[in-house]
Amino acid sequence: MEGQKIGGRYDIEKKIGEGGMAVVYRARDTLLNRTVALKVLRSQFGNDDDFIARFHREAQAAASLSHPHVVNIYDIGQEGEMYYIVMEYVEGMTLKQYINEHAPLDVKQAVNIAIQICDALDHAHQNELIHRDIKPHNILINRYGRIKVTDFGIARAVSSVTITHTGSVLGSVHYFSPEQAKGIMAGAKSDLYSLGVVLYEMLTGTLPFSGDSPISVALKHLQEPYIPPRKLRPDLPQSVENIIIRSLAKDPMYRFESANEMLEELRTCLLPERRDEPVYLLPEKYAIEEDPEITRIIPAIKPEMMRKKSWDEPEEARPVKEWRKASTSTESAAVKQNSAQEPEEDEDESVGRSWKRVLAWGFGIVLFLTLAFVGSFYGFTLLNVPDVTTPAVEKLSLQDARQKLEAVGLKPVIQQQFDPTVEADHVIKQTPPANMSVKKDSEVQLIVSQGKQKAGLPNFVGKNIDDLADQLRGYKNVRTEEEANDSQPAGTVLSQTPEAGAQVVADETEIVLTVSKGGGKIVMPNLVGLTEEEMKTKMSRLGLKIQSETKSSYQPQGTVIDQSYRADTELKKGTWVRVTVSSGLPDEARRVRTPVQVYLNAGETATIEIRVTDASGKNRMVEKTPISQSMEFKVPIVVTPSQEAVIQVFRDGQQIDEKHIGYNDAQ
């Protein structure tokens, strides 16, 4: 795709990465002139309407996040059958690449990275957005060590799809939480578990669970213990290992309550007073004993407790199990000793007890089988969700569409957008489309029209009607009404309907502007000395008509040199005024530049002023400047056969020279 332009503005430069879900390109946003990352979804996702509907909702939710450690989402779009996301471009590498090159990381560096990730998760969780696929591949690190978490919302859209697109588990099972491995909906604590796996990997260079297949790894997340980090890295502070122990608890109940709580632990774990804190014991695995001599109640040993001890079982679990084994042996010896001291029981009583035991076991087995059957029946009933056919609701009103979907047990999800062809509050498109077989209680995305695009009406009040032609173009109709007004010049907009700021559709809106026609009479202004353009603008605003003529003169070309009515004359609106504009110098006039030399002694400074009296005017200032050395000035003059030029030179306000240039001298 390199060299292509998509969305009319994104020039694809090169491929910079790919994964199971998308291919990532570096691109140039030609509209805003910036480099962006363009993530193009693979085709198998683009063909799934359910995924696309969720993808749009979740990407929009993720775009609402604004945090220094979250990759910004700028835009989402579609080009044919291709769906893409435009994101902030981060120059660097993924955390996975960094771990592969540098692991195990320095403890302080690993904790700092975890703090930045956890800070991003805390922000997302507070905005009710769960990532669901935290792994080093989705974490970017720039050359300054700054962390950016990406793929917020996209992972949620993937995990919400019930059909796998590849025939395997979506996501990275090595970073799955146990509840994700079970297929249970992941929550905020699932992100914390995955962050614990990432921290474990950064500090040890290995993953806590690995296997030959995704299924075997998932089962280990559910059932098996991991090698404690301090066994692999003895220099690791106990406070850091405690964070990993708590975040990797198989039961979410014993993990951190929130990302904010884990963030506080990470921020303080390297303080000197915390480095050698006691080992954190998970309540579901260990009993905390205060006094080894107190009397204890020893539970009966169950078959699952007799399993062979794993070689990588946490060291702190051994005293508990050895104590239980010793206590159980003592109890067994005590039972035997008591049995030896008791008299032999009656044989009939023994037989009676045997029959009672058999009946009790039999009743228990029957009860168990009955409960298992009932549970299986209701479980099958609950899981066997019936299929329904999606009704056609496109072009229907939103109310009618809701009723049709809810009537067959489907849930409408609304997304609104402007559309010039579909009436407001009517359905533009539905996903999945009509006549598709879906599970009851599934969501159907409805894109609902907001009608034509509306925009705020500009404020025209106080502006001249002649200056508004471009702004008023495109409206259905513009009507003006004149009103006499002594305070505002003629042509000034006094009021407008609709009011400024009103949300309107341009080609459906009629605008009425009330325009000042000035007072009862118009006072003629002084036009002499104005340029021709300035004169025309002023006369148009006053409502006076112009009869223009040109005449050679000693004034610059295009300058007004005469008017038929003197200034301050009262005229009626629409009166014709003859205005004379200079066409330039007469043929006999000569315009030349005459050199004038001014001398200064070394080290002197002075302000030089040059004035000219010639055919174009009297005592004109043509130069005034400070100098610090001798200088020659080129002075412009206009002379005629009957009018010479007089040049006067002043130094610090005192005249030092006067020069006369005649007609024959001006060559």
309 has a pLDDT exceeding 80: no
Q: What is the pLDDT of residue 154?
A: 56
Lowest mean pLDDT among 85-99, 290-304, 393-407: 290-304
Q: What is the pLDDT of residue 241?
A: 96
Q: What is the pLDDT of residue 63?
A: 78
Q: What is the pLDDT of residue 266?
A: 96
447 has a pLDDT exceeding 90: no
Query: What average pLDDT does the segment 404-423 reach?
Result: 86
519 has a pLDDT exceeding 60: yes
| CA–CA dist 51, 161 (Å, integer) | 6
Q: What is the pLDDT of residue 553?
A: 86
Which residues, listed in sequence order, are joined to residue 612 by a DSSP beta bridge? 620, 647
Structurally, at CATH architecture level, domain 522-582 sits in 2-Layer Sandwich (3.30)
Query: What average pLDDT does the segment 355-361 reach?
Result: 71
Instruction: Categorize the per-residue pLDDT at 348 as very low, low, confident or very high, splitting at 50, 70 and 90.
Output: low
For 278, the token pair is: 């006691």
Class of domain 387-449: alpha beta
Q: What is the pLDDT of residue 81?
A: 79
The DSSP letter of residue 559 is B
Assess whether the region 1-288 and the region 590-661 belong to the same CATH fold. Answer: no
Q: What is the pLDDT of residue 379?
A: 54
54 has a pLDDT exceeding 60: yes
Q: What is the pLDDT of residue 316?
A: 37
- Residues ≥6 apart with Cβ < 8 Å to 535: 527, 546, 560, 579, 581
Number of C-beta neighbours around residue 198 at 10 A: 24
Backbone angles phi, psi at 362, to 5 degrees: -60, -45
Between the ranges 3-12, 41-50, 358-367, where is the mean pLDDT highest? 3-12
| CA–CA dist 73, 60 (Å, integer) | 9
| CA–CA dist 291, 288 (Å, integer) | 10
Task: Please name the fold of domain 455-516.
Answer: Trypsin Inhibitor V; Chain A (3.30.10)
Query: What average pLDDT does the segment 286-300 reach?
Result: 36
Q: What is the pLDDT of residue 327?
A: 38
Report yes or no: 314 and 307 within 8 Å, Cβ to Cβ. Answer: no
Q: What is the pLDDT of residue 505?
A: 84
For 445, the token pair is: 């995305």
340 has a pLDDT exceeding 60: no
For 518, the token pair is: 């000035």
Q: What is the pLDDT of residue 331?
A: 39
Q: Which amino acid is at 342?
A: E
Percentage, residues of the chain above pLDDT 70: 81
Lowest mean pLDDT among 351-365, 548-562, 563-577, 642-656: 351-365
For 139, the token pair is: 């974490």
Q: What is the pLDDT of residue 351?
A: 53
Backbone angles phi, psi at 643, to 5 degrees: -135, 110
Query: What average pLDDT does the segment 452-465 reach?
Result: 85
268: number of CA atoms within 13 Å, CB side? 9
Q: What is the pLDDT of residue 373?
A: 66
Q: Does 587 qualify as catalytic in the annotation?
A: no
600 has a pLDDT exceeding 50: yes
306 has a pLDDT exceeding 50: no
Q: What is the pLDDT of residue 646?
A: 95
129 has a pLDDT exceeding 90: no
The strand order across the sheet containing 510-516 reads 477-483, 510-516, 493-497
| CA–CA dist 569, 191 (Å, integer) | 83
pLDDT tens digits, 152-195: 755 454 444 433 333 334 447 899 899 988 877 788 999 999 99
| CA–CA dist 378, 483 (Å, integer) | 81
Backbone angles phi, psi at 542, to 5 degrees: -80, -15
Q: What is the pTM (predicted TM-score) of this model?
A: 0.45
- Asked whether the bond before 314 is cis by omega within 30 degrees of 0, the reply is no
The DSSP letter of residue 287 is -
Give the per-residue SS3 of 411-472: EEEEEEECCCCCCCCEEEEEECCCCCEEECCCEEEEEEECCCCCEECCCCCCCEHHHCHHHH
Instruction: Categorize the per-residue pLDDT at 225 as very low, low, confident or very high, splitting at 50, 70 and 90.
Output: very high
Quickly list H helices, 464-531.
469-472
* Selected catalytic residue, list 133, 151, 191, 419: 133
| CA–CA dist 215, 469 (Å, integer) | 70
Instruction: Categorize the per-residue pLDDT at 275 as very low, low, confident or very high, splitting at 50, 70 and 90.
Output: confident
291 has a pLDDT exceeding 50: no
Q: What is the pLDDT of residue 564?
A: 93
Instruction: Categorize the per-residue pLDDT at 483 as very low, low, confident or very high, splitting at 50, 70 and 90.
Output: confident
Lowest mean pLDDT among 79-88, 357-366, 509-518, 538-547: 357-366
Give the residue, 605 or 340, on which the prediction is more confident: 605
> What CATH number should be reported for the domain whose range is 590-661?
2.60.40.2560
469 has a pLDDT exceeding 70: yes
Burial 92-122 (b: 16+ CB within 10 A, else e): bebbbebbeeebbbebeebbbbbbbbbbbbb
For strands 522-523 and 411-417, give the pairing: unpaired
Lowest mean pLDDT among 117-121, 310-314, 522-526, 609-613: 310-314
| CA–CA dist 454, 379 (Å, integer) | 52
> What 3-state class would DSSP assign to 573?
coil
Task: Please name the fold of domain 1-288.
Answer: Transferase(Phosphotransferase); domain 1 (1.10.510)
Instruction: Categorize the per-residue pLDDT at 313 as very low, low, confident or very high, splitting at 50, 70 and 90.
Output: very low
Q: What is the pLDDT of residue 134?
A: 93
Lowest mean pLDDT among 58-72, 183-197, 547-561, 649-663: 58-72
- State the average pLDDT for the chain: 81
Quickly list H helices, 91-213.
95-102, 107-126, 154-159, 178-182, 188-204
Write down the domain spans for the chain.
1-288, 387-449, 455-516, 522-582, 590-661
655 has a pLDDT exceeding 90: yes
Query: What average pLDDT does the segment 240-253 reach?
Result: 95
Give the residue, 230 or 418, on which the prediction is more confident: 230
Instruction: Categorize the per-residue pLDDT at 286 as very low, low, confident or very high, splitting at 50, 70 and 90.
Output: very low
